[in-house]
Amino acid sequence: MLPIEIKPGITWVGVNDRITELFEGLWTIKQEGVSYNSYLIRDEKNVVIDLCKSMLTGEYFDQLQSLVPLEKLDYVVINHMEPDHTGALRSLLKNAPQVQILGTAKTQDMLNKFYGITENVRVVKDGETINLGKHTLRFVVVPFLHWPETMMTYEENQKVLFSCDAFGSYGALNGNIFDDPGMPVDWFEEEALRYYTNIISIFPKQVRKALARLSTIPVDVVAPSHGLVWRNNPKRIISLYDTWSNLATEPADPGVTLLYASMYGNTEEMMEVVAQGIVDAGVPLNIFNVSKTPVSYILPKLYVQNGVMVGAPTYEGGLFPAISDVLKMAEAKHILHRKAAYFGSYAWLGGAAKEFTQTAETLEWEVMGALDFTGSPSREDLVRGRAFGVEFAKKLSA
């Protein structure tokens, strides 16, 4: 897309990435893509805020140079060192050696470690301001949103908050960058939750601290470095972060995330009736075949719902590996204190139910039942399975 003005003198100069299949080499964005939002402020001093991944440097420089020659840039603000925002930095410095880099003390250290950059780096402190002419930048240091060096940059006159990863989402921008009426805002909100649970959610205390800081700052536009720029309803994305970060310590909503895997259809057959029982009880249900669905899409539901039903066959005396992988990721992402239950098939000797109980202990999940069976489920097993689903779902709302 061509550059888009956000406020007088402030322009989006970002790029879409429709090539990368795994963000951070881990989280699927094959269908959705992602944007690297970069912002240019043209004033007596010209500033770029955050850059892009290295592979898009050429397209990105075309964007920038259509508005300002690189040799006329005065500052580059590095809100966050992760290479999806700094990959273009070394090339930029080759073409604009006069540029001064602004970032936190930890950013200074990382600039050396990632890129060998040691010169023209100015460390800014929390609350420090830099006057550009008509615009004034204030730096708000917010560690661990997403790395320890992260900060946000606030433009005081136009009240634009450049928040980098925070308030961002997956999803390439399709023809418009704003949360305007008619834009697929709901879709971007879902992608923001996916981004939050994949990337940010293990730092809820730091998110709460940042939100407390931001509550004292009037914000007209939230301009993250991924996804939509929130000018129509900037409070919306901030309030979603409030809700999501609270879920680290408050009970999640009643609902069941049903994770299952099946080798030959026996556990899947049982899954169908367990699901039926959960729906009988009137509890929201989301079903994921973990052998098919990347964990990136599973984490958001695990995060916002209080119930987890796991269906897995016994495999080599233990839990089916694809299920173990998802549970390990839930542990890594601190998705704790859920109510859970297990069902699954075994051939000659069980083991999955036992391993599930052990894993659930690590996760501090309360196990509320287990139902295993040999081979394929009989008609009686299926009737029991449906009742098992009802009973579990009722306990979630109790």
Non-local CB neighbours of 44 within 8 Å, separated by 6+ positions: 132, 133, 134
Give the Cα separation of 235 and 55 in Å (integer): 33
Contact positions with ligand FEO (CB under 6 A) in 8-67? none
| Residue 155 or 165 having the CB closest to ligand FEO | 165
Q: How far is the CB of 85 from ligand FEO (least distance, A)?
A: 6
According to the binding rule CB under 6 A, does residue 165 interact with ligand FEO?
yes
**By the rule CB under 6 A, 339 interacts with ligand FEO:** no
Q: What is the 3-state secondary structure (H, E, C) of 124-186?
A: CCCCCEEECCCCEEEEEECCCCCCCCCEEEEECCCCEEEEECCCCCCCCCCCCCECCCCCCHH
Q: Binder to ligand FEO among 53, 85, 339, 386 (CB under 6 A)?
A: 85
C-alpha 50 chain-centroid distance: 18
Task: Name the residue number minimizing CB distance to ligand FEO.
Answer: 82
In 3D, which of 244, 240, 201, 167 has the Cα closest to residue 332? 201
Q: How far apart are CA 356 and CA 172, in angstroms?
A: 38
**Minimum distance of ligand FEO from residue 145's CB (angstroms):** 9
Mapped onto helix, strand or coil, the DSSP state of residue 260 is: strand
b/e per residue 67-105 (b: at least 16 CB within 10 A) = ebebeebbbbbbbbbbbbbbbbbebbbeebeebbbbbbe
Among 53, 60, 64, 80, binds ligand FEO (CB under 6 A): 80
Instruction: Select from 84, 149, 155, 191 the one that contacts ligand FEO (CB under 6 A).
Output: 84
Amino acid at 309: M
* C-beta of 226 vs 339, nearer to ligand FEO: 226
Residue 251 CB, nearest approach to ligand FEO (Å): 29
- Which lies closer to ligand FEO via its Cβ, residue 28 or residue 225? 225
Closest separation in Å from C-beta 146 to ligand FEO: 4
Indicate whether 82 belongs to the interface with ligand FEO (CB under 6 A): yes
DSSP symbol at 56 = G
**Nearest approach, Cβ of residue 148 and ligand FEO (Å):** 11
Q: How far is the CB of 163 from ligand FEO (least distance, A)?
A: 11
Site mask for ligand FEO (CB under 6 A), range 217-236, x = bound: --------xx----------
Give 359: exposed, middle or buried? Use CB within 10 Å, 0-12, 13-18, 19+. Answer: buried
194 counts as binding ligand FEO under rule CB under 6 A: no
CB of 113 to ligand FEO, least distance (A): 16
Closest C-alpha among 340, 327, 265 to residue 298 = 327
Q: What share of the chain is helix, strand, coil (3-state, %, to 5)?
A: 35, 25, 40
- Going by the DSSP 8-state scheme, the letter that residue 45 receives in this structure is S
Q: Smallest gap, in angstroms, from Cβ of residue 23 to ligand FEO?
A: 8
| Closer to ligand FEO by Cβ: residue 51 or 352 | 51
The answer to whether 191 contacts ligand FEO (rule: CB under 6 A) is no
Residues that bind ligand FEO (CB under 6 A): 80, 82, 84-85, 146, 165, 225-226
